[in-house]
Amino acid sequence: MMDAREALKKQSAERALRYVEEGTVVGVGTGSTVKYFIEGLADFRDRIEGAVSSSEQSTALLKQIGIPVLDLNATGTLPLYVDGADECDPHRRLIKGGGAALTREKIIAACSQRFVCVIDGAKQVDILGGFPLPVEVIPMARSYVARQLVALGGQPVWRDGVTTDNGNAILDVHNLRIVDPVALEKAINQIVGVVTVGLFAARAADVVIVDGKERG
């Protein structure tokens, strides 16, 4: 039987199906919450043009249910992107990347008109940073970037054994209390060797669905 938290994730994901418009291409995130969204998309198979996927994992799921997976370079701007998050603050700013798909997720978010974020209530926080902040780095720059992240006040830990879909490494930065997410996103983006930081602050979500309901 599905536990209570999974049920809440599923409710959020299913609610997001209301935002899918016929004849369009849908941006699809990654993770256990989005998996329910993908399952629900099966009913739209014949009514959407296809999906742009943020990971090999989501691509496999989309293909399993017969949804064409399209190249973002061929689709242009997307009307909708649906994805989960690891943390969400009251301004719809997010920490993402628990599933190591942050780079492709951020690219799709940037290319989308509406970013609908689907979470369960446990992921709502006042200040981001309780969840270790994922940073995707070029492998040879890992130690250098880690030292720069220490200088910014964090405690980076290498996600040993994980290689992203782009062939890179992940550092999870602990002990951050992120009072200015836009400034920190900018600062980390400027470190040489960083591919992407999992702070989605400059481009936050547009709609947040928590436990099956839109948050006001």
HSE on the CB side for 195, CA within 13 Å? 26
Of the candidate spans 14-22, 78-86, 135-143, 154-162, the one that interacts with ligand 5RP by CB under 6 A turns out to be 78-86
Question: Using CB under 6 A, which of 27, 50, 84, 132 touches ligand 5RP?
Answer: 84
Closest CA to 171 of 203, 133, 208, 121: 133
Total site size for ligand 5RP, rule CB under 6 A: 17
> Is 83 one of the binding residues for ligand 5RP (CB under 6 A)?
yes
For residue 101, state whether it binds ligand 5RP (rule: CB under 6 A).
yes
Known active-site residue 87 = no
Nearest to 103 by CA among 130, 126, 83: 83
> Residue 4: exposed, middle, or buried by beta-carbon count in 10 A (0-12, 13-18, 19+)?
exposed
* Cβ neighbours of residue 54 closer than 8 Å, sequence gap 6 or more: 27, 28, 29, 30, 83, 101, 104, 105, 108
Query: Does 212 contact ligand 5RP by CB under 6 A?
Result: no
Asked if residue 10 binds ligand 5RP (CB under 6 A), the reply is: no
Annotated binding residue at 84? yes
Residue 174: CB minimum distance to ligand 5RP, A: 16
> What residues form DSSP beta bridges with 115?
81
Q: Is 27 in the site for ligand 5RP (CB under 6 A)?
A: no
Q: Which is nearer to ligand 5RP, 13 or 146 (CB)?
A: 13
- 96: contact with ligand 5RP by CB under 6 A: yes
Catalytic residue among 6, 22, 105, 136: 105
Q: Which of residues 33-62 bind ligand 5RP (CB under 6 A)?
A: 33
Using CA atoms, how far residue 71 sits from 5, 17, 184, in Å, is 33, 22, 31
| Contact with ligand 5RP (CB under 6 A) among 40, 99, 129, 181 | 99
Please give the single-letter amino acid code of residue 202: A
Does 29 engage in binding with ligand 5RP (CB under 6 A)?
Answer: yes
Residue 118 makes CB contacts below 8 A (sequence gap 6+) with 9, 12, 13, 15, 16, 33, 34, 37, 82, 83, 84, 209
Active site residues: 105
Contact footprint for ligand 5RP (CB under 6 A): 29-33, 83-86, 96-102, 105
